[in-house]
Amino acid sequence: MENNINIDKKTDELIAELTLEEKIKLCSGASMWTTEEIKRLNIPAIVMSDGPHGLRYVVEINEFGATSNKKTTCFPTASALASSWNKDLLYRVGKTLAEEAKSLGVNIILGPGVNIKRSPLGGRNFEYFSEDPILTADLASSFVKGVQDQGVGTSLKHYVCNNQEYKRFSVNVKVAERVLREIYLLAFERVIKETAPWTVMAAYNRVNGSPATQSDYLLNQILRDEWGYQGLVISDWGAIHDRVAALKSGLDLEMPGPSRVNKDKIQRQLDKNELKEEILNKSVKQILKTVFKSSKEKITVDYDEHDKIAQSAAEESVVLLKNENDLLPVDFNNLNSITVIGEMAVNPRYQGNGSSKVTPYILSDGLSEIEKSIPPAVELYYASGYNNDQNLESQIDEALNKAAKSDYVIIFAGIPEKFESEGFDRKNIDLPESQNKLIKAVSEVNKNIIVVLNNGSAVNISAWIDKVPAVLEGWLPGQAGAKAIVNVIKGKVNPSGKLAETFPLSLAHNPSYLNFPGVNEEVNYAEGLYIGYRYYEKKKIEPQFPFGHGLSYTKFEYTNLSLDKEVWVEDEIEVKFELKNVGELAGKEIVQLYVSQNTPYYDRPRKELKKFKKVSLKSGESKELRFNLSYRDFAYFNPELKDWVVEEDEYKIIIASSSKDIRLNASIKINSKDIAHILNTDDPVLDWLADPLGKRVLTEVLSTEQIDYLENEENIYITERPLYRLDFLSDEMVNEQEIEKIILNYSMLRGDYYSN
């Protein structure tokens, strides 16, 4: 891979040699997966492939549009990998995918997806990491680094607010700027600034009226100018509304291609001088830079070794939701019989459906892996119990007969593929009634039941959770998922995953319930900042399982929290505490750091995740852990000032095992020169008194007697009114000239305040 200086020089020289027709040609794809090559100048094509959790390398497309793909490694989907909370693991998965890309001549992997899980109904939620932008960003950054360190590019997608499948090609998302910045853009911002992904993929949908592919605000003003992004912006496949408008707005490459119609449109606009060639040259330069960054090295890969990495990834991602009376792990050497139930035990649900669907190199299933794990003397029974979303009485009867005579029952359940896929959203968050009926029936004949779930997003299991002692969330765990799940069941692996999304008790509890998927081609993000755990905590709604929840076969103790300062102004704060494994087994704990502001001017969530770390500890071992917090960890996006702001206030640092399981906390006072709101005469006098700068001006202009008068609670009827009414309401206790002086001094002082 060439360095940036050489690439810039080379691209500038080539742009000077390219004809106008060749430049236009480069800005559209040549096929479904490649860009145009210019043989005259030895400019090769860029080869792309879907690949958030495995390469979907298309070998052939038949007359009906179905694809034949090369066999590659299928890793756990993003929703599973997110539950690992393991940045090193995400790097390793990215590195492994890049190796397979290089072996197949692929230059860019179309992933990761960093869209936020606004609703559990989102059809592509399995492709996305979390409801939280910080967790999403940090895991995605590790994945991008893992890929790009090998000389293969990534495509950060889908920019932005592509949070549903319903009318995804045309829906207009109405979202407030603060919400856009703090929730939906934040993951993109962090990944772009930390890793410089080679490409960013603009989404199908509209955002506040403008198509994402031709939004000057999103593509030029924010992405390029504010964040400093210098990579290639491509369209989602077929997402262009107006090619020339998109080009002017910073959309460099249209995919797929070829697109003769749009090439002609660009040519006509250039001929009319309504499109400047300099704009075209900018996009051509980005395309050429990407061409020359791409590794041309072809390597061979060890798919058996990659299967082991996929298994390790799945093992880290399994979440132990419930383990009553320590039913798990199961000692397979100390039982007489075991029954496995469920169609998914033999036909596993291991990945999502749609553009990310991989043809796996190898595939494990639960029944076979259990059979390999038990001694020959143990009786193993199997019953289907259901067929996808239905069951016959005979299937339930068979399952009950076998379960009744077994020491343990393992039921594999989950969401069938036909209910969870790209292209449509889920209708509910329930398991099929056939599975609920089966699990409840089995619980009546055997109390040692373990339910294994395979699904891409949150599910409601309230129908039977009180009847079942142990539940494992296996997600869509990839080709080696069954091996991983069985290793957790038998205790070879101590579960260490935690939920990256809240599991609600009811779909109606979900914050977007009344505004999903929208009406009349429009969806209103009316819940604002309150997505996932932010909402459940604000509304004091008890979820089925909270964000960050996950049990272990061991226990951890948190102690000795300390901050390196009590008052913070500008430099970093160091947070220290000790974590100890006080159980009998080695294990991994995911520690979570949240920040809470005491009295914000603008409404803020009760707490927000800012840092996390996965820590491995032997039994009895302890470690001192450290986190550094800086300005943005305390900031929010101020809608009035159009900037990130840290208010002067008291903040709480919270150390937790989940969003609800708080272990330690400490307070810190922050002295900040930022202001939350520029006061004016329309603001109530109470706001002037509450604002540090406003109060300072009042005390400078007014006498002690006047201030005492305003602060007297008996005069609340005056101070809750606007400042401009103060002279009239106070019987001229404060006159008009004093009010004018207050405003003048405030304006002057605010300028001095910022210049110091």
Q: How many CB atoms neighbour CB 555 within 10 A?
A: 14
| Degrees to nearest 5, angle at CA 72 with 66 and 77 | 85
Distances (CA, A) of 475 to 162, 352, 459, 683: 22, 10, 10, 51
Q: Which of 501, 518, 403 is nearest to 455 (CA)?
A: 501
- Whether 236 is a known active-site residue: answer yes
Residue with tokens 């599975």: 435
Both tokens of 227, joined, read: 């964040």
For residue 197, cis peptide bond before it (omega within 30 degrees of 0):
no
573-581 vs 622-629, strand pairing mode: antiparallel
Q: Which of 147, 154, 172 is nearest to 162 (CA)?
A: 172
CB distance 212 to 206 below 8 Å? yes
Catalytic residue among 236, 307, 365, 430: 236
CA distance 745 to 751: 10
Its sign, for the CA torsion 263, 266, 272, 278, is: negative
CA distance 263 to 623: 60
Distances (CA, A) of 71 to 48, 106, 583: 16, 14, 42
Q: What does the buried/exposed string (b/e) look like for 564-576 if buried means 16 or more CB atoms within 10 Å of the residue's CB?
A: eeeebeeeebebe
For residue 256, cis peptide bond before it (omega within 30 degrees of 0):
yes
- State the SS3 of 381-418: EEECCCECCECCHHHHHHHHHHHHCCCEEEEEEECCHH
Strands ordered across the beta sheet of 573-581: 556-563, 573-581, 622-629
Both tokens of 548, joined, read: 């960050």
Residues 6+ apart with CB under 8 A from 603: 529
The DSSP-derived string for 228-274 is: ---SEEEE-TT--S-HHHHHHTT--BB-S---HHHHHHHHHHHHTTS
SS3 category, 436 = helix
Task: Catalogue the active-site residues.
Answer: 236
